Structure 1
Amino acid sequence: MGLRLLFFCLFLLVIEIYAYQAVKTLIKLRWMLLAYSVISLLLLVFILYSFTQFDRSVGQTHKTMFTMGLMLVVYLPKIVMTVILLGEDVFRLAAGSINYFIDNNSKVDFLPSRRKFVSQIGLGLASIPFLSLIYGIFEGRYNYKVIKQAIYFPDLPDAFNGFTITQISDVHSGSFDNPEKISYAIDLVNEQNSNMILFTGDIVNTHAKEMDPWIDTFNKIKKHEYGKFSVLGNHDYGEYVTWPTQSAKDENFEDIKKLYGQIGFQLLLNEHTFIEKDGDKIALVGVENWGKNFKQAGDLKKASEHLSKEDFKILMTHDPSHWNEVVQHDDKHFQLTLSGHTHGMQFGIEIPGFFKWSLAQYVYKQWAGLYENVGRYVYVNRGFGFHAYPGRVGIMPEITVIQLIKGEKLA
């Protein structure tokens, strides 16, 4: 722990030195440079102090989210500046070596002066994440998007042709602080008038009581003709805090499971149910959380017991790594899987139909939107809420509407 802290402090020191060099090339007034240095020091002390006060028995709070947001706003732009100026230093070092050792020109300074325009480029590029992160905190985190996705299945029962499903995921109610925005989002959910609504886990960050202020709001999600169903997410197990006793943790878990019922959702715990329409039926399968790097309580075999390959199946599993590692290879052929969990890292770039990037893609092969493998699909919802960083940049909170269509998709 001590060695890691030392490396972290050295890392921040390097960043601060380079950021100061960039600012110094543009600002010549001594008092302004002094003010910049004092503010930077105060912010660093506040951030480090706040992290030392993190209470593992409580977990994430609005204060810890504020600290995380502040750290990103302060240091991500400085990291951009550091990368630019470090690149220039490599060039300066190479140029100086050539002049000194190859050209044998001892009259020229070994290390050429830093170029002002490079610092200007660094500051200009740094302003992009700075402004984006500020926007993400004040506007992006509640900038809900309704995303509609049609998916084609040759083996879809006839009666379900055109059937619509609204999916929400990763509510993280403990992060909310704006009742008006949440009510607006619930209105958006209801406006979709889908046949069925599915909630793929993470109703809270850790504690069941986080949902108490929001139960009445989520109870405004209207009844759907073919039901409201849910599964658990990794945060619903209370794994990320220190509990005084195992019984306290178990009690919290039981209370979290009850929350889904309190807002009108039927919680599927490694089990399935049938949805019937005009004489046809599809199987809705729900597993507990199964993650490659998280809790593995999901039991796909148990949840799909007595189902056959020919049954049309929709699987709810919170973590898309379950689909990647297990579900897509299962002999029972789960036609459609609905997941969440990744949040798209709450930071990225999306140009619908053209380009999609996030750091999440380096952790999850399926991280946002629709993916397919030999007729088996997984849709990864980008999440309804937010966690850790109190904002969203580029990857907006999502309400998904999926339409099931019988047949082959035309090229």
Structure 2
Amino acid sequence: MILRLFFFGAVLFIIELYAFQALKTLIKMRWMLISYQVISFLLFIFIIYSFTQFDRSVGQTKQTMFTMGLLLIVYVPKIVVTIVLLGEDVFRLISGSICYFIDNDAKSTFLPSRRKFVSQIGLGLAAVPFMSLIYGIFEGKYNFKVIKQAIYFPDLPAAFDGFTITQISDVHSGSFDNPEKISHAIDLVNEQNSDLILFTGDIVNTHAKEMHPWIETFNKIKKHEYGKYSVLGNHDYGEYVTWPSQKAKDENFEGIKKLYGDIGFQLLLNEHTFIEKDGQKIALVGVENWGKNFKQAGDLKKASQYLTKEDFKILMSHDPSHWNEVVQHDSKHYHLTLSGHTHGMQFGIEIPGFFKWSLAQYVYKQWAGLYENLGRYVYVNRGFGFHAYPGRVGIMPEITVIRLLKGEKLA
């Protein structure tokens, strides 16, 4: 732990040196430079100290989220400046080396001086993530978007043509701090008037008690004609803190499972049920969490026992890596899988229909929106809440409305 903190501190120190060089190129007033150094030093000490106070028996708190937000606001812009100035240093080194061996007069000044306009470019670019991260904390994290997605299936039972499903995921209730915004989001859920609502896991960050202040609010999600169903997410198992005993961990897990019932959702634990309409039916399958790099409690075989390839199936599985690694290759042919988990890293760029980028795509092949392979689909919800970084930039909190349609999608 000490070694990691030392390395972390050393990296931040190098970033600070480059950021100061950029400012020094532009600002000549000594008192301003000294003030910047003092403020930067105090923030540096506060961030390092706060990370040393992290308590694994408690897990994420408002304080740790504040520290993470502050870390990103302070250092992401400075990293941008560092990258720009490092690029200039490579150029200065090459230029200086050439001049050193060719021009004897240049030997007294091996490296060319820094150019003011490069520092200006670096600081200008740094302003973009700086302002974005601040916006993400104060506005973005509650900027709920309703995303509507139509999906065509040739073998969809005719009675379900036009059937609508609202999906929410990754509530992370322990992170909430604005009852008015959450009530607005619940109103948005209700306004969709869908036939069925599905919740694909992570009701809390760790502790069941995190959801207690929000039970009344989430109970306002109206009764949907064909039901309210849910599955567990990786955070629902209490895996990311140190518990005083196995009994305490087990009691918390039972409390979390109870929460889903407390807000009117039927929890599917490696099992399935049927949704019936006009004498026809589709199978709704729910597995416990299965993640390539997280807890693997999901049992697809058990959950779909007695189902056949011909049964139309909707699978709820929290982590999309389950679809990528297992579900899309399963011989039972799961028509549609609904997942969440990634949050789109809560940071990225989206221009609907044209461009989509996030660091999440370097970790998950399916990380936000709809993906298809041989007639098997997975939809990855971007998440209702937020975790770690107390904000969202570019990748906004999502309420998904999926419309099932019978037939082939037109080109």
**DSSP 3-state at the match of 1:253:** helix
Residue 354 of structure 1 corresponds to which residue in structure 2?
354
The question of 1:148 aligning with 2:148 is answered yes
CA distance in 1, matches of 2:374, 2:331: 12
User: 5 Å matches for 1:12-411?
Assistant: 12-106=12-106, 109-411=109-411
CA distance in 2, matches of 1:244, 1:107: 66
**Percent identity over the alignment?**
85
CA distance in 2, matches of 1:409, 1:330: 23
Structure 2: which amino acid aligns with 1:251?
E
1:320-363 Cα deviation digits (max 9, x unpaired): 00000000000000000000000000000000000000000000
1:277-306 Cα deviation digits (max 9, x unpaired): 001100000000000000000000000000
1:7 Cα deviation after fit:
2.0
**DSSP 3-state at the match of 2:402:** strand
1:10 Cα deviation after fit:
1.6
CA distance in 2, matches of 1:351, 1:319: 24
| 8 A contact 1:385–1:397 mirrored in 2 | yes
1:203-244 Cα deviation digits (max 9, x unpaired): 000000000000000000000000000000000000000000
**DSSP 3-state at the match of 1:349:** strand
| 8 A contact 1:99–1:108 mirrored in 2 | no
CA distance in 2, matches of 1:214, 1:10: 41
1:168-224 Cα deviation digits (max 9, x unpaired): 000000000000000000000000000000000000000000000000000000000
1:2 Cα deviation after fit:
3.6
CA distance in 2, matches of 1:102, 1:264: 78
Structure 2: which amino acid aligns with 1:35?
S
Structure 1: segments with no counterpart, 5+ residues: none
1:368-392 Cα deviation digits (max 9, x unpaired): 0000000000000000000000000
| 8 A contact 2:99–2:107 mirrored in 1 | no
Structure 2: which amino acid aligns with 1:255?
G
**DSSP 3-state at the match of 1:211:** helix
1:80 Cα deviation after fit:
0.3
CA distance in 2, matches of 1:92, 1:228: 63
Aligned-CA RMSD value: 0.7
CA distance in 2, matches of 1:396, 1:104: 58
| 8 A contact 2:271–2:287 mirrored in 1 | yes
| 8 A contact 2:335–2:375 mirrored in 1 | yes
1:13 Cα deviation after fit:
1.1
1:4-28 Cα deviation digits (max 9, x unpaired): 3332222111100000000111110
CA distance in 1, matches of 2:18, 2:380: 39
**DSSP 3-state at the match of 1:150:** strand
CA distance in 1, matches of 2:13, 2:254: 46
CA distance in 2, matches of 1:103, 1:307: 80
- TM-score w.r.t. the length of structure 2 is 0.99
CA distance in 2, matches of 1:139, 1:106: 53
CA distance in 2, matches of 1:175, 1:312: 37
Runs of at least 4 residues off by over 6 Å: none
CA distance in 2, matches of 1:368, 1:108: 56
| 8 A contact 1:315–1:334 mirrored in 2 | yes
1:113-136 Cα deviation digits (max 9, x unpaired): 000000000000000000000000
| 8 A contact 1:202–1:232 mirrored in 2 | yes
| 8 A contact 2:169–2:383 mirrored in 1 | yes
CA distance in 1, matches of 2:64, 2:107: 54
Structure 2: segments with no counterpart, 5+ residues: none
CA distance in 1, matches of 2:98, 2:6: 35
Residue 7 of structure 2 corresponds to which residue in structure 1?
7
| 8 A contact 1:232–1:288 mirrored in 2 | yes
CA distance in 2, matches of 1:401, 1:3: 47
| 8 A contact 1:370–1:377 mirrored in 2 | yes
| 8 A contact 1:319–1:339 mirrored in 2 | yes
- Label 1:403 to 1:367 Cα distance change in 2 as closer, same or farther (>3 A): same
Structure 1: which amino acid aligns with 2:326?
V
